[in-house]
Chain A
């Protein structure tokens, strides 16, 4: 492509000399570091899924392993929660409304600082 300095068919490499590329691979790398960590995904109908972060694609669809489903037994909160095991699940990005990862307080700070970049 014209006006660009990068090589035409180079795949994204971690040690690319290009500025913008480095940052984008950083974000992907940070997410890679979250793999297999406990992830809590909330979805549109009010349920939560807790499982190991296994995979994500460009559309934002997430796969969790050994997932547990949490749901409240009443529409209004607070209410007792029910849970059941589901195994390997795929959560489409269209129904996901929140996503949290279990991490130490320090890590959380560094995660947040990245978020704001």
Chain B
């Protein structure tokens, strides 16, 4: 039976550290394991012991201990950072032997670069750059000038990049990037990193000179005696180009952030230096790989030039402080991929720095759109955004209102007009700024935001219109400000034009993001066609107002628009749009005919009817009433009669070709517009041929198969006809 337990029995098996986990006052820890075991035996299957307020659903959200996906505290190799360091995971210096020390430090530098590239690509700092134990405890490296200065400049660079992305505030989709809590990102003295780096660079340069002169058997300078190691020269060179790369990268980041784009030219020089140092770095890999043969642990991930495993990295040590739950396991980029990333980053930054800072909104918008075609990464895009919109002005210099008046075709004097104090004008300025910022974000996020923005632009138009009517509604007002009237009028038109521009971009981005299935193309092209007609209308109106030709005022119906008299020279911008209008219409009609003649089978989806798909695809546009009076019915009415015998369809493509050719004469000095028009011509030509074939043979020969590819243009598909 029971006897009075001894103290040891009371505590059961020795609980290590139990004295550090105190029980309450006048209470002890009692071992309940046997009791629990017994209770478990008595429980029924599926029966739980729980309290009255137990909620099974809430209980499901419990973190499961020892599950690597939920438990970030699982003890791996080391219990803590301190233990790791005490066990020699990050020695300072890395090796007593100077040559080995340098070789290892080069590997650390390379692996750090790979970590940095991985971070830029969208992972957290903690798992990448701060997996480096030397960075986690900044003071430890102070005795080793090379390592210390390199760590400082890396930290300072990361801090600069982090601040750019944070300031841009449009990185939601890559939100791991800015998580840095608990990490030593700002260490005192990091601002002086460059002077320290310069000193180290100087020392190594002297060593290199000494190496070279010792090989020629000349008297050495009185510096540390070097082993007459032929590899020493190679290591010095490898080291120097890496240090110089870091230096120029840091300078680049500082210059490019100078306000109002003042440092762009200097930044370009540093970019060029970075790229040339990269060449040296790449050249050094052969030497490093050769001299590392058999000297070290093989680097499976291949994150260093030498192929050796870098010392001093462990991503698991700080994962408890970096985030509430363990991060997804990630793979650090290989050395080659890291280099590729940085080279692309430098190229993208160079494009930004080379931009002429044209004081026109249209030019800025076109520049961003063109830049986005090369698929730049987050860091480059953030830099562009901060260059474009600073202190509420374009490039920090040109006020938004001045931009708007210029874009609307108003004379220079209007940019200082008091009307800019009107609350709706202020809101409009905000919308323009947001538009510029959104266009710098990644394409998927951008498209969603552009769609949401459409309503805001519509609303501002309505509000401005009401303000306009209020101001000038009464017929005889004593102080009739003619200039004010003109400003209101033209800005209103410009707002409409810009709204359709946004709608158009929203639609065409769907192709880049592959959001449309082949069966949606018909309605998408139809919608593009209707939006482009409106856009061309507004553009034409604006240009006409500017040139003062009063004859063509007022809304134009689309038919009269298309057969505009040939004696009137259509402005190039309008011709540009018209060629696309015909192309879109032609494609829409071709798809409709193919469907109506059953060459393309309509999808038999049990989920969505075509009507429902129409509503889903164009919901944001319809909410903003862009354009008005557009519905699924109007789409059906336009397309249901298309068939092979309406040969008038062929004219769409031919017309597109013709207009594109005419437009080219207006854009001889604009290579981008020229290449776009050429692409439009090509698509029109190919489709015209295909359509001819289909119309002539399609009705008779049912073995004809028509497929579509984006071989000539990213938005307008080319039809390919084959016999199956």
Contact = CB atoms under 8 A, between A and B. Distances in A.
B30 A58 contact: no
Instruction: Please indicate which of the listed interface residues B13, B38, B65 has the most CB atoms of chain A within 10 Å of its own CB.
Output: B65
Interface in A1-22: 12
Interface stretch (B56-64, B117-125, B217-225): B56-64
B411 interface: no
A15 B130 CA distance: 62
B23 interface: yes
B48 interface: yes
B10 A55 contact: no
Contacts of A116: 1-2
Chain B residues touching A, range: 35 or more
Contact of A75 (B20, B43, B83): B83
Contacts of A27: 35, 38-39, 42
Contact of B34 (A42, A48, A78, A115): A115
Contact of B40 (A47, A48, A60, A104): A60
Contacts of B295: none
Given A31-B35, A88-B58, A58 B47 contact: yes
A107 B80 CA distance: 38
Interface stretch (B71-79, B152-160, B191-199, B612-620): B71-79
Interface string B23-38: 1101111111111111
A63 to B, nearest CB: 5
B414 to A, nearest CB: 60
Given A31-B39, A101-B32, A75 B79 contact: yes
Given A73-B79, A77-B16, A43 B24 contact: no
Given A27-B38, A27-B39, A101 B29 contact: yes
Interface string A56-73: 111110110000011111
Interface residues of A, number: 71
A70 B29 CA distance: 16
B30 A50 contact: no
A113 B5 CA distance: 10
B670 interface: no
Nearest to B320: A84
Among B15, B66, B83, the most chain A Cβ lie within 10 Å of the Cβ of B66
B50 A98 contact: no
A34 B32 contact: yes
Contacts of B75: 45-47, 71
A64 to B, nearest CB: 8
Contacts of A44: 66
Contact of B24 (A38, A81, A95): A38
A74 B32 contact: no
B36 A99 contact: yes
Contacts of A25: 42
Contacts of A77: 16-17
Contacts of B17: 48, 70, 72, 77-79, 81
Contacts of A82: 80
Interface in B537-574: none
A35 B86 CA distance: 42
B482 interface: no
Contacts of B38: 27
A81 B16 CA distance: 11
Given A81-B20, A102-B27, A43 B66 contact: yes
Given A36-B51, A100-B15, A95 B44 contact: no
Contacts of B24: 38, 102
B294 interface: no
A42 B65 CA distance: 11
A27 to B, nearest CB: 4
B49 interface: yes
B46 interface: yes
A89 B66 CA distance: 11
B45 interface: yes
Contacts of B49: 28, 31-32, 35, 55-57
Nearest to B35: A115
Contact of B54 (A54, A107, A108): A54
Contact of B32 (A36, A50, A111): A111
B12 interface: yes
Given A55-B49, A84-B320, 14 more contacts: A27-B35, A42-B15, A45-B66, A45-B75, A47-B75, A57-B43, A71-B73, A88-B61, A99-B36, A100-B12, A100-B32, A103-B28, A104-B28, A111-B35
Closest 6 pairs (CB-CB, A-B): A24-B42, A100-B29, A113-B2, A73-B80, A90-B62, A108-B30
Interface of A: 12, 24-25, 27-28, 30-32, 34-36, 38-40, 42-50, 54-60, 62-63, 69-75, 77-79, 81-82, 84, 86-92, 95, 97-105, 107-109, 111-116
Interface of B: 1-2, 4-5, 9-13, 15-17, 20-21, 23-24, 26-51, 54, 58-59, 61-66, 73-75, 79-80, 82-83, 86, 320
14 contacts: A31-B32, A31-B36, A43-B65, A55-B59, A71-B79, A72-B16, A74-B82, A89-B63, A92-B64, A100-B15, A101-B29, A108-B30, A112-B10, A115-B34
